[in-house]
């Protein structure tokens, strides 16, 4: 009798999915959900809004060079002809503005400033604004990089509190020549694999800083990561436009590490790697109204736990966003052998457009073929997927939950999932391995492989308690 019921249920799913395909009903129904902190009250979601695309950004009105508190970089020796080294002019403008409350460093429109790898160091007086209206760029490729300059980073803002990087200007990373030097292993002669080197520069890095705003900037062709935030807190990112070719390696749009209380809103990111990547030590992150793609690897938590490290990530919300023509949609990835926990993560109202892996948890992440099996793992628990809709590439199952042999994923919740093939026939076998959870509503495609209830035992080295108290 149970076998007959299962057969009838699968038949129902297939019939319903085919009806949707025939009538071309593949557009997601968009919903709006509550603010950060919803993890303690998941059921109270509102279902009455839609995804809106970021508005075009207009440059702020140009400050007058004679205004008090305005520090035009040209007044400090910067030329802006695209060839002259303007590093010292920018450094001098920074040093002067840093001493004045609510000062504005002005980079005027109509000029292109070339700056060598440098660090803008705080602490500064509060309310410092870096008003970018023109173009800034690094030297053109590895051969033009100063021999005494770091090739791992370009512009660094260090120990700064209350800084705004804003304006309608352009950061041109000039990354084309760096992309032949990827950090990840790549093919060499005669079928060999080359390891690196790993010295392509991150474009913009904020380190040990707080109360940061990045708004309105256009970034293109970064050599490696576009924006990276390390050991920061209270970060607001809004209305960015980040682009790089889909084949450009390691050009993550926004990467955060050991960073908390982060808001990433209303931005367009099209690149060759993660749209947004969330590393170890991140919590209280709210991501809303992003368009990721075409290209890239979607929105990722991880990778975590590499080299047997401990990683804690919690209270992450991704909502009201579009991911299109990407390798991945929303992803959690961890290495075997790590410790720690990922918990209280919600993916809400995400539209997928021809994405290869729309929903994926991978606790066996590995960049080579010789990764050995390990018993320890970063635990993954309390993961919510609500209103994930759109189309997928049938080369991979639209839902993939590959969890540790010894530390299973727990409390995975699926609701209002409608994923249909962009081309071809419906994939009826989502992948699960040691994953516990359930569906609150019927899903398309149907998912029967999640294990019910809780695992019989919890691995003794599970670090969820450690992460909760950190």
Task: Kindly list the catalytic residues.
Answer: 273, 297
Q: Is 127 exposed, middle or buried (0-12, 13-18, 19+ CB in 10 A)?
A: middle
Burial 449-464 (b: 16+ CB within 10 A, else e): ebbeeeeeeebeebbb
Residue 244 DSSP code: -
Residue 73 and residue 88 in contact, taking contact as beta carbons nearer than 8 Å: no
Choose among 458, 418, 410, 419: nearest CA to 438. 410
Choose among 42, 19, 32: nearest CA to 440. 42
Residue 451 and residue 410 in contact, taking contact as beta carbons nearer than 8 Å: no
In the chain, what's the furthest Cα-to-Cα distance?
A: 85
Burial 381-414 (b: 16+ CB within 10 A, else e): bbbbbbbbbbbbbeebbbbbbbbbebbbbbebbb
Burial 200-235 (b: 16+ CB within 10 A, else e): bbbbbbbbebbbbbbbbbbbbbbbbbbbbbbebbbb
């Amino acid at each position: 009798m149970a076998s007959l019921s299962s057969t009838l249920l699968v038949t129902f799913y297939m019939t319903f999915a085919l009806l949707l395909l025939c009538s071309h009903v593949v557009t997601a129904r968009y919903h709006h959900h509550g603010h950060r902190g919803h993890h303690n009250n998941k059921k109270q979601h509102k279902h009455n809004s839609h995804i809106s695309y970021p508005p075009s950004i207009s440059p702020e009105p140009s400050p007058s060079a004679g205004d008090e508190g305005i520090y035009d970089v040209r007044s400090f020796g910067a030329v802006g002809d695209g060839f002259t080294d303007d590093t010292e002019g920018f450094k001098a403008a920074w040093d002067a503005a840093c001493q004045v409350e609510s000062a504005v460093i002005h980079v005027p429109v109509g000029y292109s400033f070339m700056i060598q790898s440098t660090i803008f160091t705080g602490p500064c007086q509060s309310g410092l604004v870096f008003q970018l209206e023109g173009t800034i760029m690094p030297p053109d490729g590895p051969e033009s990089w100063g021999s005494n300059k770091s090739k791992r980073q370009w512009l660094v803002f260090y120990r700064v509190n209350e800084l705004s990087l804003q304006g309608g200007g352009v950061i041109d990373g000039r990354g084309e020549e760096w992309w032949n030097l990827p950090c990840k292993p790549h093919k060499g002669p005669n079928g060999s694999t080359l390891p690196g080197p790993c010295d392509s520069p991150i474009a913009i890095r904020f380190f040990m800083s707080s109360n940061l705003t990045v708004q309105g900037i256009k970034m293109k062709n970064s050599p490696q990561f576009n924006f990276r935030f390390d050991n920061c807190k209270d970060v607001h990112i809004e209305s960015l436009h980040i682009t790089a070719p889909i084949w450009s390696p390691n050009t993550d749009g926004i990467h955060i590490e050991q960073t908390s209380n982060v808001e990433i809103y209303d931005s367009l990111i099209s690149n060759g790697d993660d749209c947004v990547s969330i590393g170890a030590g991140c919590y209280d992150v709210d991501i809303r109204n992003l368009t990721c793609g075409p290209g890239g690897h979607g929105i990722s938590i991880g990778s975590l736990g590499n080299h047997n490290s401990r990683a804690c990530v919690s209270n992450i919300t991704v909502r009201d966003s579009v991911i299109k023509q990407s390798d991945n949609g929303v992803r959690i990835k961890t290495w075997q052998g790590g410790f720690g926990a990922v918990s209280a993560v919600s993916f809400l109202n995400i539209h997928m457009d021809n994405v290869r892996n729309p929903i994926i948890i991978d606790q066996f992440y590995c960049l080579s073929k010789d990764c050995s099996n390990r018993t320890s793992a970063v635990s993954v628990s309390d993961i919510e997927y609500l209103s994930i809709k759109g189309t997928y590439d049938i080369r991979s199952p639209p839902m993939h939950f590959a969890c540790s042999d010894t530390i299973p994923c727990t409390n995975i919740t699926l609701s209002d999932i409608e994923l249909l093939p962009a081309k071809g026939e419906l994939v009826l076998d989502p992948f699960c391995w040691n994953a516990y959870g359930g569906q609150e509503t019927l899903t398309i495609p149907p998912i029967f492989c999640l294990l019910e209830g809780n695992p019989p035992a919890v691995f003794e080295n599970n670090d969820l308690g450690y992460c909760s108290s950190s």
